[in-house]
Structure 1
Amino acid sequence: MKKTVFALAGAAVLLAACSKSAPPEEPVRAVKVITVGSSAFASSHEYAGEVKAQVESRLGFRVGGKIIKRQAELGQHVRAGQVLAQLDPQDYRLAADAARAQVAAAATNRDLAAADFRRYKELKDQNFISGAELERREATLKAAQAQLEQAQSQLAVQGNQANYAALLADVSGVVTAIDAEPGQVVAAGAPVVRIAADGVRDVVFSVPEDKLAGIKLGAPVKVRVWAQDTELPGKVREVAASSDPVTRTYPVKVSIDAKEPPALGATVYVVPEAAGIVGMPVIKLPTTALRQEGKATAVWLLDKASMTVKPQVIQIATADGNDVVVASGLQPGMLVVSAGVHVLSPGQKVSVYQKNWAAAGANTAQAAPDSIATATAAVPAAK
């Protein structure tokens, strides 16, 4: 009998040793939570632009020839009247010398004709010649005088041609491009140097055809400088009458008058002040609240009564930096976990993190005493 009891007791001990211990309870996770809210659909159109000089000249020689020297350099600031480049002036000097010789020959002929006219006039006074003969001498004198004036004009033209061998800056500004180099033979009028004149700057951007009606001459705009993160006031100065043949968009120029204008070629963003659009309410969430569930995007919803979470599939309409605009799947008033989503499981108990400053959307409220904040929405700017 005793052996039987000991055998049963040993079997019980062995069974107890082989049985698995109870799994530990899953820890309560601390999460940040936001209350879903909605606001009116509000958007504005933002266009990327470039800073340019309001006046930019493409300077070229008024005569053709071979460039022998170029004094201007890219990015150099030049003054009005400063020499930028020079042509070989030898041919123009020779042409000026030839014109000068023609003037001397014409002056000699005019002097001879004038002397003949004076002699024949004295003979006419003594009735030795007829009046017709005197008139012929007077006509010869007038012709000689006209030939002299023609030669003098030709000399002035040739002198100008020689002076045109030096390319001068017509305004003070910055050299933005060099289109020809020494040794190159250029035709008259071919661009050699481009100069952006000092003074008012323009912002140039392009507008698609369906947005052109919202851009009016004289309309105020806001210009944001990308590199400096500053904002400047501007005004629409010019709207193209026809579209660009390549991009099929319409170039628009905005004048900005600042004490320290942005550098030429700087990238800026232009926002027309009257471009806001209001429509249906939307919901906006931070990207930290999103998780991938298969091929769908989901968030964790908090049941405040049981303090447990459950997954909710949503559809995203668009993105705006670190936020997304939700198309469907959520309703205002729902509680969404905004941080700690990667360690949660369906039905898991959670606690609300007590130092929560939620940042969800453009209008973020301070965390309430129970650390639940409101996420309101704003549609991202259309670029």
Structure 2
Amino acid sequence: MRLFSILAAIAVSLMIYAFVFERPRLMAALGTDAPDTTDVAQEPAEPTESSPDPGAIGVVAVHSRAQEFDSAVVLRGQTQANRQVEVRAETSGKVISDPLRKGSFVDAQQTLCRLAPGTRDAALAEARARRAEAETRVPEAQARLTEAEARLAEAQLNNTAASTLSQSGFASDTRVAGARAALSAGEAVVQAAKSGLDAARTGIEGAEAGVAAAEEEMTRLNITAPFAGLLESDTAELGSLLQPGALCATVIQLDPIKLVGFVSEADVARVTLGADARARLVNRQEVTGAVTFVARSADPETRTFRVEVAVPNADLALRDGQTAEIMIASEGTPAHLLPQSALTLNDEGTLGVRIVTAENTAGFIPVALMRDTADGVWVAGLPQAADVIVIGQEYVVAGVPVRASYGDSNGDLAQ
């Protein structure tokens, strides 16, 4: 098998040599005249038969002109649900609701799993009773404070009167001491009444906290969907016991859906937020959207940046995890579409193409490969118009005289 490949390569090389360098003799042997290359095109860069260079090497070239190339950034990626969440239980309890089957559409706040309340109703009633009891203590404490303040005011008057009479010699020291003692006692009673009122109010706050906790525990019995979407799994089966953290259901949102890809360091600057994008799935379906996210930090292993594209998916035709080729629009650049066989390397190993110069000699121009397509390769780096050698470029170097025959992009000679 290997010998056959070698023989085939030798045969192809001989055929190319005969076609390029021995074409006149080949035509004569076949009984046909060689085509007159002077009538192929009238470009001034082409040699004419009136002044041929005896040492020129025959090549086939094409007249190539630059075209506006849509230099879209091409990524390989996949579809991804816009949102996906695993809805889990926050408390323990037995499921008392019928299960919803996977694939079902659910609305936001729709019940997915309902748990049995157990003793939670009684706990809530007890908390509310304690709050009511605490609320009744506040008026009582307020009344005691009012009474204490009134007695304090009376003690202050008695103390003032006793002090005044004592200075005038109409009251004994014993009476003054008693008034002062009554005043101190009144102040202590007022302070105790204030403390009792504060304790009653604190009791109310504690009771309200207990009620709120009991009510929150009751809400946890009804596990709902956080957003509208599709069930990716069945909800918990009727009669099953859920513990805190146990899975109730998985909900995904597919409208809009995200296209996720990774762009290289060289191209990340060409991707901007809001840029138009289109993608082709493996089933040849094409979709369009806009860039919604470009990562600011690179993946530490691949040195690439995450890019997300939002695509409308109202009919839910796109699924999570489908492979996609993503093309993000960027500014166009002038480029040439050439056959891949026209590419060659110079002595330094630089990728480029050989051209026919105005002096009918071979030249070399380095090029940058933009994109490989079924019709050829898009390259940048050439002037607006260039005569690119597509057959025979491997047999000439820069400065060698050439005799060019011009054809189409496939190298077929023009008639």
TM range (shorter): 0.5 to 0.7
Partner of 2:75: 47
CA distance in 1 between counterparts of 2:247 and 2:302 reads 25
Identity of aligned residues (%): 22
Cα pair 1:86 1:166 within 8 Å, conserved: yes
Aligned to 1:162, the other structure's residue is in SS state: helix
Change (3 A) 1:142 1:333: closer
Is 1:65 matched with 2:92? yes
CA distance in 2 between counterparts of 1:241 and 1:142 reads 55
Q: 2:292 aligns with which of 215, 237, 254?
A: 237
Instruction: Compute the RMSD of aligned alpha carbons.
Output: 4.7
Cα pair 2:254 2:319 within 8 Å, conserved: no
Is 1:136 matched with 2:192? yes
Aligned to 1:46, the other structure's residue is in SS state: strand
Cα pair 2:281 2:325 within 8 Å, conserved: yes
Larger-Rg structure:
2
CA distance in 1 between counterparts of 2:229 and 2:275 reads 28
Cα pair 2:257 2:318 within 8 Å, conserved: no
Cα pair 1:106 1:148 within 8 Å, conserved: yes
Change (3 A) 1:158 1:376: farther
Cα pair 1:56 1:196 within 8 Å, conserved: yes
Greater Cα shift, 155-164 or 99-108: 99-108
Q: 2:210 aligns with which of 139, 147, 154?
A: 154
Cα pair 1:117 1:134 within 8 Å, conserved: yes
Partner of 1:216: 272
Partner of 1:23: none
In the alignment, residue 273 of structure 1 is paired with which amino acid? A
**TM superposition shift of 1:163:** 0.8
In the alignment, residue 250 of structure 1 is paired with which amino acid? F
CA distance in 2 between counterparts of 1:227 and 1:251 reads 24
Cα pair 1:284 1:375 within 8 Å, conserved: no
CA distance in 2 between counterparts of 1:170 and 1:111 reads 44
TM-score, length basis structure 2 = 0.49
Cα pair 2:337 2:376 within 8 Å, conserved: no
Aligned residue-pair number: 266
Aligned to 2:251, the other structure's residue is in SS state: strand
Cα pair 2:100 2:235 within 8 Å, conserved: no
Q: 2:243 aligns with which of 167, 185, 204?
A: 185
CA distance in 1 between counterparts of 2:300 and 2:121 reads 45
Is 1:74 matched with 2:102? yes
In the alignment, residue 216 of structure 1 is paired with which amino acid? T
Cα pair 2:115 2:222 within 8 Å, conserved: yes
Q: Which is richer in strand?
A: 1
CA distance in 2 between counterparts of 1:259 and 1:198 reads 8
Partner of 2:228: 172
Partner of 1:310: none
Change (3 A) 1:262 1:134: same
Q: Which is richer in helix?
A: 2
Aligned to 1:186, the other structure's residue is in SS state: coil
**TM superposition shift of 1:168:** 1.4
In the alignment, residue 192 of structure 2 is paired with which amino acid? R
CA distance in 2 between counterparts of 1:212 and 1:281 reads 25
Aligned to 1:224, the other structure's residue is in SS state: strand
CA distance in 2 between counterparts of 1:273 and 1:107 reads 68
Q: Deviations over 1:252-298 (max 9, x none)?
A: 1112346656423244321122287776764258xxxxxxxxxxxxx
CA distance in 1 between counterparts of 2:98 and 2:76 reads 35
TM-score, length basis structure 1 = 0.53
